[in-house]
Chain A
Amino acid sequence: MSHDLLVALPIVIPLATGVIALLFYDSRDSQRVISVIGSAALLLAGIALLMTARADGILVTEMGGWPPPFGINFVADLFSSLMVLMTGLIAFTVSVYSLATMDPRRESFGYYPLFHILLMGITGSFLTGDMFNLFVWFEVMLISSFVLIALGGERPQLEGAIKYVALNLISSAILLGAIGLLYGLAGTLNMADLGMKLQDVDEPWLVTTVGMLFLVSFGIKAAVFPMFFWLPASYHTPPIAVTALIAALLSKVGIYALVRAFTLIFTQETSYTHQILLVVAGLTMITGVLGAVAQYEVRKLLSFHIISQIGYMLVGLAILSPLALAGSIFYIIHNMVTKTNLFLISGVAFRLQGTYELKKLGSLYRYHPWVSSLFFVSAMALAGMPPFSGFFAKLTLVRGSLELEHYAIVAVALLTSLLTLFSMTKIWTEGYWTPSPAEEEGKLPPGVDEFPGWTRNMVAMFLPIIILASLSVGMGILAQPVISLLVETAEQLLDPSLYIESVIGDEP
């Protein structure tokens, strides 16, 4: 397959799926089939892209045939391809899960087309090689996520959406301003060209100032300290499938943009910028987890955990060593898998007992041991217990930090890890282990008779959870090949000349 086609496919497939689903606006059944086929195709395209990018090096395609730095180009290095692959995986699992859980009203108001347009925005952001184009993909992604969050129009959804929309639009305005200033400085917006031209600017502090604007803008999108307040106010309001999708993907796009910008473009004053990143990472970890510890609503608790884990993902970027960066990327992947799974399982628990409140949940282990053990695997993976994926992600990150003697951040990371374990144990004991309020009164808890057999809905509900849980175990057991791929990825990121050469070519 030609490289042009391979790099374009992750964007074209969701677009085509969204459009075809929109053409079948009146038929929910066809939309459901189209949606699953489209996301499966995206997953396959992601696998093909990663394999080719690993074998052939960085892949580049020029949109419309205009050569860089004049035209917009799309670049798939290992990091981008990896993120596209993960997007495909999450898209596939969540779209299958949606079949069982999405209500018909939302389905008939364009849930599936929006779902795939959102995916297009995400893969576009991962693949683009142009700063302004990144902004455009961000907006595609934001508009569709706005609608997805507000779709259904329940009061909490709308209240959450207002906050989400307002803060994300501020971030977009800052990004736009920063892009304008960057263009004024360098006269180009192609990322590779920027990476080259900004190396020999007379006043590096100006570049750093613009870099800080990017940090604020991407930081809002990634929900880092102190700009995370929109996330726990809005993520838990839509149906659980939407929550799982946006929780897994949207903030990761922010992180991706930060990694791309601060490894490729803003590398002039790393001692200053990356010191800030390190402090921000530490504070993000600790505030996020403290917020989570105080919560008793499962979805809100998990939303606060997203924030604390964003901190881990920043540590590697702040330290800038191959091992630490590999640890961060491992953490991104691990987090996408486990966090999505935890949301999906809490959806199952909701289906069983009709609540997300820990104080009202209970007895799940007694009546549904299989559901409970799937939760247990993901929760322990999130907390970083061996042999699951989270342990190796944290281990790599901590080893990378210790190598360069960043003891403070290691201490913060381990403390956060402990608190994560504490809050996961809280869900486990309150929701799964102890008897539910109904049982304490001598009645059977709700949901005991659910799940009579393997109906189609059951398969759609549990297949994604089982896939994700086994991945979480698999990445732990097969940690060695995963880590070696990720170290390769990190080394590619830390050598911007590879990226620049493959985009600009041999021209001066």
Chain B
Amino acid sequence: METLMAILIGCLFASGIYLMLRRSIVKLAIGLVLLSQSANLLIFTAAGLTRGNPPLVSAGESMPPLPYADPLPQALVLTAIVIGFGVLAFTLVLVKRVYQTVGTDDLDEMRSTDGFKD
């Protein structure tokens, strides 16, 4: 399972980076989304996958029965997803504004702030 997840995460990272290397800002935004999602999966996998053992403490016990799934990475991933949601919302607004102002979605046309002159 971990191997499969590792391959999946690798593919997601690769496709995210591939999309970011394209010239369109929309693809850039999609690439960023894939990148943040693969990072979420990475947290989830790196912390260890336990199936079918929710960390629920039954009445009268002080600890869930071993082995149980670690709840912390899930909380971390949830937080990261929420943050990613906020960032994504902003990125979409930004992409739209850039498209409206610059009149193109080509990143190569957005180099007026890079050069050494002016």
Q: Is there any pair of Cβ atoms, one from A and one from B, under 8 angstroms apart in the complex?
A: yes
A interface vs B, CB < 8 Å?
132, 135-136, 139, 142-143, 146-147, 150, 153-156, 158-163, 165-166, 169-170, 172-174, 176-177, 179-181, 183-184, 189, 233-234, 236-237, 294-295, 297, 357
Is A153 touching B73 in the complex (CB atoms < 8 A)? no
A-B contact pairs, 23 of them (CB 8 A): A136-B79, A139-B87, A150-B94, A153-B101, A156-B112, A158-B101, A158-B102, A159-B111, A161-B94, A162-B107, A165-B91, A166-B28, A166-B32, A172-B36, A172-B87, A173-B38, A177-B38, A180-B42, A183-B46, A183-B72, A184-B46, A189-B76, A295-B116
- B56 interface residue (CB < 8 Å to A): no
Closest to B80 in A: A176
Is A183 touching B97 in the complex (CB atoms < 8 A)? no
Is A183 touching B73 in the complex (CB atoms < 8 A)? yes
Is A155 touching B101 in the complex (CB atoms < 8 A)? yes
Q: Scan residues 34-73 of chain B and give those whose CB is less than 8 A from a CB of chain A.
A: 35-36, 38-40, 42-48, 72-73
A174, A177, A183, A357 interface centre (most CB from chain B within 10 Å): A177
Per DSSP, are chain B's interface residues mostly helix, strand or loop, or mixed?
helix
Partner of B97, one of A135, A158, A163: A158
Given contacts A143-B86, A183-B43, A236-B113, are A162 and B25 in contact (CB under 8 A)?
yes
Is B90 touching A143 in the complex (CB atoms < 8 A)? yes
Kindly list 5 other residue pairs between chains A and B, CB separation below 8 angstroms, not including A159-B102, A173-B38: A139-B87, A147-B90, A155-B112, A169-B87, A177-B43
Bound CA span A120–B17, Å:
31
Is A166 touching B47 in the complex (CB atoms < 8 A)? no
The 10 closest A-B pairs by CB, nearest first: A180-B43, A184-B46, A176-B39, A180-B46, A173-B35, A159-B110, A173-B39, A177-B39, A177-B42, A158-B98
Chain B 72-85 near chain A by CB (<8 Å), digits 1 or 0: 11001001100100
Closest to B46 in A: A184
Is A183 touching B90 in the complex (CB atoms < 8 A)? no
Is A180 touching B107 in the complex (CB atoms < 8 A)? no
Bound CA span A158–B101, Å:
8
Distance (whole angstroms) from the CB of A6 to the closest CB of chain B = 27
Is B47 touching A184 in the complex (CB atoms < 8 A)? yes
| Set of chain B residues within 8 Å of A189, measured between Cβ atoms | 76
Is B42 touching A294 in the complex (CB atoms < 8 A)? no
| Set of chain A residues within 8 Å of B36, measured between Cβ atoms | 169, 172-173, 176
Partner of A155, one of B20, B80, B102: B102
Closest to B35 in A: A173
Distance (whole angstroms) from the CB of A290 to the closest CB of chain B = 11
Is B35 touching A169 in the complex (CB atoms < 8 A)? yes
Partner of A184, one of B25, B48, B110: B48
Partner of A183, one of B47, B80, B94: B47
Distance (whole angstroms) from the CB of A414 to the closest CB of chain B = 26
Bound CA span A153–B91, Å:
14
Closest to B28 in A: A166
Closest to B73 in A: A183
Chain B 101-118 near chain A by CB (<8 Å), digits 1 or 0: 110000100111110101
Partner of A176, one of B40, B94, B118: B40
| Set of chain B residues within 8 Å of A132, measured between Cβ atoms | 76, 79
Is A180 touching B102 in the complex (CB atoms < 8 A)? no
Partner of B83, one of A139, A161, A295: A139
Distance (whole angstroms) from the CB of B84 to the closest CB of chain A = 9
Bound CA span A142–B32, Å:
15
Partner of A159, one of B44, B83, B112: B112
| Set of chain B residues within 8 Å of A179, measured between Cβ atoms | 43, 76
Closest to A133 in B: B79
Given contacts A169-B36, A172-B36, are A146 and B101 in contact (CB under 8 A)?
no
Bound CA span A153–B114, Å:
18
Distance (whole angstroms) from the CB of B16 to the closest CB of chain A = 8
| Set of chain B residues within 8 Å of A297, measured between Cβ atoms | 118
Distance (whole angstroms) from the CB of A206 to the closest CB of chain B = 11
Distance (whole angstroms) from the CB of A443 to the closest CB of chain B = 23
| Set of chain A residues within 8 Å of B95, measured between Cβ atoms | 162
| Set of chain B residues within 8 Å of A155, measured between Cβ atoms | 101-102, 112
Partner of B39, one of A160, A180, A183, A294: A180
Bound CA span A159–B46, Å:
36
Bound CA span A356–B86, Å:
35
Distance (whole angstroms) from the CB of A322 to the closest CB of chain B = 35
| Set of chain B residues within 8 Å of A169, measured between Cβ atoms | 32, 35-36, 87, 91
Bound CA span A208–B3, Å:
22
Closest to B34 in A: A173
Bound CA span A156–B114, Å:
10
Q: Scan residues 8-44 of chain B and give those whose CB is less than 8 A from a CB of chain A.
A: 20, 25, 28, 32, 35-36, 38-40, 42-44
| Set of chain A residues within 8 Å of B87, measured between Cβ atoms | 139, 142-143, 169, 172
| Set of chain A residues within 8 Å of B32, measured between Cβ atoms | 166, 169-170, 173
Bound CA span A180–B83, Å:
16
| Set of chain B residues within 8 Å of A234, measured between Cβ atoms | 113
